[in-house]
Chains A and B, each alone.
Chain A
Amino acid sequence: MPTRESSSAAVWAILRKECRSEWRTRYGLNAALLFAVTTLAAVSFAIGRLGDRSDVLAALLWMVILFAALASLSHAFVREVEGHTLTMLRLIASPTSIALGKLLFNLLFLGLIEVVTVPLFLVLMAAPAPRWAPFLATLAVGSTALAVTSTLVGALIAQSRGRGALFAGVSFPLLMPLLLAAVRATRAQWLGVSAAAELRLLAAYALALLAAGLLLYDHLWED
């Protein structure tokens, strides 16, 4: 058995590799940004300014983020399977390390999309000024949970015949509690109400799924 790099080194190496290969073409990132901005533009064009509707604003924000994630995060593993590089990866790193590397990449990717999309959203929809601490906290924890789930489901879907639509359909049940909590938390900070309970739930959710993933990733690629 060839020696495996230590786990954290492997994770880091995979993350760097993902970033590098993504940066080479930037196709995925461009497509994802385009998609997110298009969704946002469509919503804004259709609904207009919604300064006083914090309930709708919170929901729309997370829907845009959700759609962007569903459209772009499924590819992390598909590329590997199609390029047959997964077998090579598995020679040098444990399944968990591979998954963690991909997860960190997905997190970075999603973060990049949000850095562009969220300010645009706030401006286009004439949203009231958010309370930055809870707002950013919700975005951070919610996106982490989103990335954790998407990485796991992406790994499952890559070995199936289904692609984008299946990814969305299979992810959604897992994302539903997260979506509900995130929307409530985002709305709460606009209403001036505490979002602490929702944030705790989101954090617990992200952790639970991360833990489950870490236990299960070893079983994902056994052939």
Chain B
Amino acid sequence: MIARWLLFLWIAAWTVIALLWAPLVPLLGATTRVLYFHIPSAWITVLALAWSMGHSLAYLRRRRIEHDDHAAAAAELGLVFCIAATITGSLWAKAMWGSYWNWDPRETSIFYLLLIYGAYLALRGSIDGEERRARLSAIYSAVAFVTVPFLMFIVPRLYFTLHPDPLINTHGKIEMDPRIRICFYAMLIGFTGLFAWMQSLRVRVTRLARRFEAAAAEPARRAV
């Protein structure tokens, strides 16, 4: 439990430091603050996806249900962080350029991840039977994994509308001020810790549910 309290303090402290001590990025003005939450959310989205897909592939090889537990849990969490990233990003875009959505490369990518998460979870929801659900969703995950690099190729060549994405261009600039940089990395670490904790909780809940279901089925089985 100590580690969790430390996580709380870490994120709380760095939130305050980032909001009150770190300077603003001249290009971004007051909206600088968003990057401490928006970019870590997007980072976790990608991390969760990689975690989920990795476990899906592992499930296909080893057929151990623990892998499916992890894949499903990471997908749920990834979706939550993806929605957070999309919304914060959209609000940021509105504040910066006056438009909520432009299909520029970053926006398109995050939307794409949203779709993959949504499709994966919808597929899972429609399949009965633990083994079949695990196997089929793992297959889908594996196929989605193959398509991701292609989007990375296509997206940078997308038709830019009004403005290039500042995250791609000014990322270098943002990283320059060491005060911002340290707060940013600290938040990345904090979010990663948060994800790890939530993932652990989610997987343990799944296991508990399975254990209780099996226990509930015992008397019925014994009676037969």
Contact = CB atoms under 8 A, between A and B. Distances in A.
A163 B127 CA distance: 11
- The 4 tightest CB contacts between A and B, nearest first, are A162-B126, A160-B126, A173-B115, A177-B150
B142 A216 contact: yes
A194 to B, nearest CB: 13
B119 A169 contact: yes
B140 interface: yes
A173 B112 contact: yes
A70 to B, nearest CB: 13
A159 B132 contact: yes
Q: Is the interface of B mostly helix, strand, loop or mixed?
A: helix
B126 A166 contact: yes
Interface residues of A, number: 33
Given A173-B144, A177-B151, A220 B139 contact: yes
A201 to B, nearest CB: 6
Interface residues of B, number: 29
Contacts of B122: 162, 166, 169-170
Interface in B142-161: 142-144, 146-147, 150-151, 153-154, 157-158
A201 B136 contact: no
B147 A201 contact: no
Given A205-B150, A208-B146, A170 B119 contact: yes
Contacts of B60: 216, 219
B143 A209 contact: yes
Interface string B123-147: 1001110011001101110111011
B150 A204 contact: yes
Given A201-B154, A205-B150, A170 B127 contact: no
A107 interface: no
Interface of A: 152-153, 156-157, 159-162, 166, 169-170, 172-174, 176-178, 180-181, 184, 197, 201, 204-205, 208-209, 212-213, 216, 219-220, 222-223
A111 to B, nearest CB: 23
A55 to B, nearest CB: 9
A201 B153 contact: yes
A174 B147 contact: yes
A212 B154 contact: no
Nearest to B124: A160
B126 A201 contact: no
Contacts of A173: 112, 115-116, 118-119, 144, 147
Contacts of A220: 136, 139
A223 B157 CA distance: 44
16 contacts: A153-B140, A159-B136, A160-B123, A160-B126, A160-B127, A161-B126, A161-B127, A166-B123, A169-B118, A173-B116, A173-B118, A176-B147, A181-B150, A184-B157, A216-B60, A216-B143
Contact of B127 (A159, A197, A209, A222): A159
A159 B151 CA distance: 28
A156 to B, nearest CB: 5
A82 to B, nearest CB: 16
Contacts of B119: 169-170, 172-173
